[in-house]
């Protein structure tokens, strides 16, 4: 199968850089599937599950937060605030984060604090969903 170069970069580290056979990224318009020689595109990434296939390895998944994706000349750049492998997600911490964010949403705060709490809640829920999907797939 043809491959393309991908760089998946989180704000604090490089998540994965190397050859890739396929990539599925959550975007505003739904899941965006990418194969080698995809047309050039720039799109917004939303919190969700990113799926990627490295040559000679099983498909991988990751919980990603918001960001952007740029596809140009068979090279893909994914820039996100965070990217986590499901085995690295602490489900208890994610549940606590979700509960705290829900509590913050109930308090009267500024619009900026409200949006920050919404983003925190979305990230926590996404992390839990990816962790659950991973655990169910490995039964």
Give the model's confidence band at 31: pLDDT under 50 very low, under 70 low, under 90 confident, else very high. very high
Q: Report whether 68 contacts 44 (CB < 8 A).
A: yes
Question: Is residue 74 within 8 Å of 51, Cβ to Cβ?
Answer: no
pLDDT at 108 over 80: no
Burial of 136 (0-12, 13-18, 19+ CB in 10 A): exposed
Which range is least confidently modeled, 9-23, 68-82, 99-113?
Answer: 99-113
Domain borders along the chain are 4-84, 89-137
User: What number of other Cβ atoms are within 10 A of residue 76's Cβ?
Assistant: 21
> Phi and psi dihedrals of 7, rounded to 5?
-125, 115
Task: Return the CATH class of domain 89-137.
Answer: mainly alpha
Decide if pLDDT at 39 tops 80: yes
Instruction: Give just the sign of the alpha carbon dihedral 82, 94, 92, 85.
Output: negative
Per the CB < 8 A criterion, the answer to whether 78 and 50 are in contact is yes
In sequence order, the 6+-apart residues with CB closer than 8 A to the CB of 104 are 113, 117, 120
State whether residue 59 is helix, strand or coil. coil
- Fold classification of 4-84 is ATP Synthase; domain 1 (2.60.15)
CB 69 within 8 A of CB 43: yes
- Dist. CA 20–CA 10, nearest whole Å: 17
Supply the pLDDT for residue 119: 87
The answer to whether the CB of 123 falls within 8 A of the CB of 66 is: no
Hey, what are 126's tokens? 């996404």
């Amino acid at each position: 199968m043809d491959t393309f170069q991908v760089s998946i970069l989180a704000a604090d580290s490089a998540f994965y850089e190397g050859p890739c056979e396929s990539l599925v990224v959550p975007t505003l318009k739904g899941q965006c599937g990418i194969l080698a020689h995809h047309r050039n595109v720039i799109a917004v990434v939303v919190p969700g599950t990113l799926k990627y296939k490295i040559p000679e390895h099983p498909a991988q998944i990751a919980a990603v937060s918001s960001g952007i994706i740029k596809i140009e000349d068979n090279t893909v750049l994914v820039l996100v605030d965070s990217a986590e492998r499901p085995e690295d997600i602490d489900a208890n911490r994610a549940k606590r984060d979700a509960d705290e964010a829900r509590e913050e949403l109930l308090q009267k705060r500024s619009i900026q604090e409200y949006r920050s709490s919404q983003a925190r809640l979305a990230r926590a829920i996404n992390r839990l969903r990816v962790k659950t999907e991973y655990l169910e797939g490995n039964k």
